[in-house]
Structure 1
Protein backbone atom coordinates (compact mmCIF):
# COMPACT_ATOMS: atom_id res chain seq x y z
CA UNK A 1 0.00 0.00 0.00
CA UNK A 2 2.45 2.59 -1.19
CA UNK A 3 1.28 6.21 -1.22
CA UNK A 4 2.49 9.35 -2.99
CA UNK A 5 3.43 11.81 -0.26
CA UNK A 6 3.90 15.56 -0.58
CA UNK A 7 6.04 17.38 2.00
CA UNK A 8 4.95 20.99 2.52
CA UNK A 9 7.84 22.45 4.52
CA UNK A 10 10.12 25.46 3.93
CA UNK A 11 13.06 24.30 6.05
CA UNK A 12 14.96 22.23 3.48
CA UNK A 13 16.85 20.06 5.98
CA UNK A 14 13.64 19.12 7.78
CA UNK A 15 11.88 18.50 4.46
CA UNK A 16 14.62 16.27 3.02
CA UNK A 17 14.75 14.28 6.27
CA UNK A 18 10.99 13.70 6.04
CA UNK A 19 11.30 12.71 2.36
CA UNK A 20 14.06 10.24 3.19
CA UNK A 21 11.96 8.59 5.90
CA UNK A 22 8.90 8.47 3.63
CA UNK A 23 10.96 6.66 0.98
CA UNK A 24 12.47 4.35 3.60
CA UNK A 25 8.91 3.35 4.58
CA UNK A 26 8.24 2.31 0.97
CA UNK A 27 6.27 5.36 -0.11
CA UNK A 28 6.89 7.73 -3.00
CA UNK A 29 7.89 11.25 -1.93
CA UNK A 30 6.60 13.36 -4.83
CA UNK A 31 8.31 16.59 -3.85
CA UNK A 32 8.90 19.37 -1.40
CA UNK A 33 6.74 22.49 -1.47
CA UNK A 34 8.00 25.54 0.42
CA UNK A 35 5.00 27.73 -0.41
CA UNK A 36 1.38 27.72 -1.55
CA UNK A 37 2.09 27.88 -5.30
CA UNK A 38 4.41 24.87 -5.32
CA UNK A 39 2.07 22.90 -3.03
CA UNK A 40 -0.85 23.46 -5.42
CA UNK A 41 1.34 22.54 -8.43
CA UNK A 42 2.13 19.16 -6.82
CA UNK A 43 -1.37 18.59 -5.39
CA UNK A 44 -2.72 16.51 -8.34
CA UNK A 45 0.04 13.93 -7.77
CA UNK A 46 -0.38 13.51 -3.98
CA UNK A 47 -2.28 10.97 -1.90
CA UNK A 48 -1.04 12.33 1.43
CA UNK A 49 0.46 15.69 2.44
CA UNK A 50 2.47 16.50 5.56
CA UNK A 51 1.94 20.25 5.95
CA UNK A 52 3.73 22.85 8.06
CA UNK A 53 1.77 26.03 8.88
CA UNK A 54 4.33 28.79 8.48
CA UNK A 55 6.02 28.65 5.11
CA UNK A 56 8.15 30.78 2.82
CA UNK A 57 5.09 32.84 1.82
CA UNK A 58 3.81 33.27 5.40
CA UNK A 59 1.21 31.40 7.49
CA UNK A 60 -0.39 29.71 4.46
CA UNK A 61 -0.34 26.11 5.71
CA UNK A 62 -3.92 26.12 6.97
CA UNK A 63 -5.24 27.28 3.58
CA UNK A 64 -2.98 24.79 1.78
CA UNK A 65 -4.21 21.92 3.94
CA UNK A 66 -7.87 22.83 3.48
CA UNK A 67 -7.50 23.19 -0.32
CA UNK A 68 -5.52 19.94 -0.68
CA UNK A 69 -8.20 18.06 1.26
CA UNK A 70 -11.32 19.67 -0.21
CA UNK A 71 -10.33 20.23 -3.85
CA UNK A 72 -7.79 17.46 -4.43
CA UNK A 73 -8.93 14.71 -2.04
CA UNK A 74 -5.51 14.57 -0.35
CA UNK A 75 -5.19 13.10 3.15
CA UNK A 76 -3.66 16.00 5.09
CA UNK A 77 -1.74 15.86 8.34
CA UNK A 78 -0.25 19.03 9.82
CA UNK A 79 3.22 19.06 11.40
CA UNK A 80 3.99 22.36 13.11
CA UNK A 81 5.71 23.96 16.06
CA UNK A 82 2.52 26.02 16.50
CA UNK A 83 -0.41 23.57 16.76
CA UNK A 84 -2.50 26.13 18.67
CA UNK A 85 -2.84 28.06 15.37
CA UNK A 86 -5.22 25.32 14.23
CA UNK A 87 -7.66 25.77 17.15
CA UNK A 88 -10.38 23.13 16.61
CA UNK A 89 -8.85 21.88 13.38
CA UNK A 90 -9.36 22.26 9.66
CA UNK A 91 -12.36 20.61 7.97
CA UNK A 92 -11.38 17.62 5.86
CA UNK A 93 -7.93 17.21 7.37
CA UNK A 94 -6.78 14.42 9.71
CA UNK A 95 -4.95 16.12 12.56
CA UNK A 96 -1.81 17.82 13.84
CA UNK A 97 1.39 16.82 15.56
CA UNK A 98 3.69 19.37 17.15
CA UNK A 99 7.30 19.66 16.04
CA UNK A 100 9.91 18.60 16.68
CA UNK A 101 8.89 15.09 15.63
CA UNK A 102 11.26 12.19 16.29
CA UNK A 103 11.97 9.55 13.66
CA UNK A 104 9.89 6.81 15.30
CA UNK A 105 7.04 9.25 15.85
CA UNK A 106 7.20 10.32 12.20
CA UNK A 107 6.98 6.68 11.13
CA UNK A 108 3.85 6.24 13.27
CA UNK A 109 2.26 9.43 11.92
CA UNK A 110 2.93 8.45 8.29
CA UNK A 111 1.57 4.94 8.93
CA UNK A 112 -1.54 6.46 10.52
CA UNK A 113 -2.09 8.77 7.54
CA UNK A 114 -1.68 5.82 5.14
CA UNK A 115 -4.22 3.79 7.13
CA UNK A 116 -6.66 6.73 7.07
CA UNK A 117 -6.09 7.11 3.32
CA UNK A 118 -7.13 3.48 2.82
CA UNK A 119 -9.99 3.63 5.38
CA UNK A 120 -8.26 1.15 7.67
CA UNK A 121 -8.40 1.09 11.45
CA UNK A 122 -5.23 2.37 13.10
CA UNK A 123 -4.04 3.36 16.55
CA UNK A 124 -3.62 7.10 16.95
CA UNK A 125 0.05 7.97 17.61
CA UNK A 126 0.49 9.35 21.15
CA UNK A 127 1.09 13.04 20.35
CA UNK A 128 -1.17 13.28 17.31
CA UNK A 129 -4.25 15.43 17.89
CA UNK A 130 -6.97 14.06 15.60
CA UNK A 131 -9.59 16.50 14.34
CA UNK A 132 -13.28 15.61 14.59
Structure 2
Protein backbone atom coordinates (compact mmCIF):
# COMPACT_ATOMS: atom_id res chain seq x y z
CA UNK A 1 0.00 0.00 0.00
CA UNK A 2 1.08 3.56 -0.63
CA UNK A 3 0.68 5.67 2.49
CA UNK A 4 0.80 9.46 2.24
CA UNK A 5 2.05 11.21 5.38
CA UNK A 6 0.61 14.70 5.92
CA UNK A 7 2.43 16.08 8.94
CA UNK A 8 4.16 19.42 9.52
CA UNK A 9 6.37 18.37 12.45
CA UNK A 10 9.60 16.86 11.09
CA UNK A 11 10.19 14.47 13.99
CA UNK A 12 6.63 13.12 13.96
CA UNK A 13 6.73 12.76 10.16
CA UNK A 14 10.00 10.82 10.44
CA UNK A 15 8.56 8.51 13.09
CA UNK A 16 5.45 7.86 11.00
CA UNK A 17 7.59 7.20 7.94
CA UNK A 18 9.65 4.63 9.86
CA UNK A 19 6.55 2.82 11.17
CA UNK A 20 5.00 2.70 7.70
CA UNK A 21 8.22 1.36 6.15
CA UNK A 22 8.68 -1.19 8.93
CA UNK A 23 5.12 -2.37 8.21
CA UNK A 24 6.12 -3.10 4.61
CA UNK A 25 4.37 -0.18 2.94
CA UNK A 26 5.58 2.57 0.63
CA UNK A 27 5.43 6.16 1.83
CA UNK A 28 4.53 9.25 -0.13
CA UNK A 29 5.80 12.45 1.39
CA UNK A 30 5.92 13.54 4.06
CA UNK A 31 4.05 16.66 3.02
CA UNK A 32 2.78 19.50 5.18
CA UNK A 33 0.32 21.50 3.06
CA UNK A 34 -2.99 20.87 1.32
CA UNK A 35 -1.44 21.70 -2.07
CA UNK A 36 1.34 19.14 -1.61
CA UNK A 37 -1.10 16.50 -0.36
CA UNK A 38 -3.41 16.98 -3.33
CA UNK A 39 -0.44 16.59 -5.68
CA UNK A 40 0.41 13.19 -4.14
CA UNK A 41 -3.21 12.08 -3.68
CA UNK A 42 -3.70 10.33 -7.05
CA UNK A 43 -0.95 7.85 -6.08
CA UNK A 44 -2.01 7.27 -2.45
CA UNK A 45 -4.14 4.48 -0.98
CA UNK A 46 -4.09 5.65 2.62
CA UNK A 47 -3.31 9.02 4.23
CA UNK A 48 -2.04 9.69 7.74
CA UNK A 49 -3.22 13.26 8.33
CA UNK A 50 -2.49 15.75 11.09
CA UNK A 51 -5.36 18.13 11.91
CA UNK A 52 -3.14 21.24 11.89
CA UNK A 53 -1.15 21.86 8.70
CA UNK A 54 1.74 24.27 8.11
CA UNK A 55 -0.20 26.30 5.54
CA UNK A 56 -2.85 27.14 8.15
CA UNK A 57 -5.42 24.79 6.63
CA UNK A 58 -7.33 22.19 8.54
CA UNK A 59 -6.52 18.52 8.15
CA UNK A 60 -10.19 17.61 8.45
CA UNK A 61 -11.05 19.70 5.38
CA UNK A 62 -8.18 18.05 3.50
CA UNK A 63 -9.46 14.64 4.64
CA UNK A 64 -12.91 15.34 3.23
CA UNK A 65 -11.34 16.15 -0.15
CA UNK A 66 -9.11 13.06 -0.08
CA UNK A 67 -12.07 10.82 0.76
CA UNK A 68 -14.60 12.37 -1.62
CA UNK A 69 -12.38 13.11 -4.62
CA UNK A 70 -9.80 10.33 -4.48
CA UNK A 71 -11.34 7.56 -2.36
CA UNK A 72 -8.35 7.58 -0.02
CA UNK A 73 -8.71 6.05 3.42
CA UNK A 74 -7.80 8.64 6.06
CA UNK A 75 -6.32 8.09 9.50
CA UNK A 76 -5.95 11.18 11.67
CA UNK A 77 -2.81 11.47 13.80
CA UNK A 78 -3.18 14.50 16.03
CA UNK A 79 -2.15 16.09 19.27
CA UNK A 80 -5.69 17.36 19.76
CA UNK A 81 -8.26 14.67 18.89
CA UNK A 82 -10.97 16.80 20.49
CA UNK A 83 -10.59 19.43 17.74
CA UNK A 84 -12.15 17.14 15.14
CA UNK A 85 -15.49 18.70 14.18
CA UNK A 86 -18.50 17.07 15.81
CA UNK A 87 -20.16 14.65 13.46
CA UNK A 88 -17.17 14.26 11.11
CA UNK A 89 -17.34 10.87 9.51
CA UNK A 90 -15.18 9.12 7.02
CA UNK A 91 -11.89 8.69 8.87
CA UNK A 92 -10.97 5.12 9.74
CA UNK A 93 -9.27 6.12 12.98
CA UNK A 94 -8.20 9.05 15.13
CA UNK A 95 -4.85 8.41 16.81
CA UNK A 96 -3.64 10.74 19.55
CA UNK A 97 -0.04 11.94 19.73
CA UNK A 98 2.12 10.67 21.22
CA UNK A 99 1.25 7.43 19.48
CA UNK A 100 2.52 3.90 19.81
CA UNK A 101 3.77 2.11 16.69
CA UNK A 102 1.00 -0.46 17.21
CA UNK A 103 -1.64 2.28 16.99
CA UNK A 104 -0.42 3.13 13.50
CA UNK A 105 0.07 -0.45 12.30
CA UNK A 106 -3.36 -1.50 13.60
CA UNK A 107 -5.03 1.42 11.81
CA UNK A 108 -3.14 0.64 8.59
CA UNK A 109 -4.31 -2.97 8.83
CA UNK A 110 -7.93 -1.80 9.22
CA UNK A 111 -7.54 0.26 6.05
CA UNK A 112 -6.08 -2.71 4.18
CA UNK A 113 -8.88 -4.98 5.41
CA UNK A 114 -11.49 -2.42 4.33
CA UNK A 115 -9.96 -2.21 0.85
CA UNK A 116 -9.82 -6.02 0.58
CA UNK A 117 -13.52 -6.31 1.48
CA UNK A 118 -14.37 -3.62 -1.08
CA UNK A 119 -12.43 -5.38 -3.85
CA UNK A 120 -14.02 -8.73 -2.94
CA UNK A 121 -17.52 -7.23 -3.24
CA UNK A 122 -16.69 -5.71 -6.62
CA UNK A 123 -15.08 -8.86 -7.97
TM-score range, shorter chain: 0.7 to 0.9
Query: TM-score, normalising length from structure 1?
Result: 0.81
Shift of 1:96: 1.1
Aligned position for 2:98: 100
Structure 2: 5+ residue stretches without partners: 119-123
Question: How does 1:71-86 map onto structure 2 within 5 Å?
Answer: 71-86=69-84
Moved over 4 A (4+): none
Distance in 2 separating the partners of 1:51 and 1:117: 18
Task: Quickly say closer, same or farther: Cα 1:89–1:10, change in 2 above 3 A.
Answer: farther
TM-score using structure 2 length: 0.86
d(CA) in 2 for partners of 1:50, 1:10: 12
Question: What are structure 1's unaligned runs of at least 5 residues?
Answer: 121-132
Q: CA separation in 2, counterparts of 1:38 and 1:87?
A: 23
On the 8 A contact 1:48/1:117 being kept in 2, the answer is no
| Aligned residue-pair number | 118
Partner of 2:53: 55
Where 2:99 maps in the other structure, the secondary structure is: coil
Task: Write 1 or 2 for the structure with the bigger share of helix.
Answer: 2
Between stretches 6-15 and 56-65, larger displacement belongs to 56-65
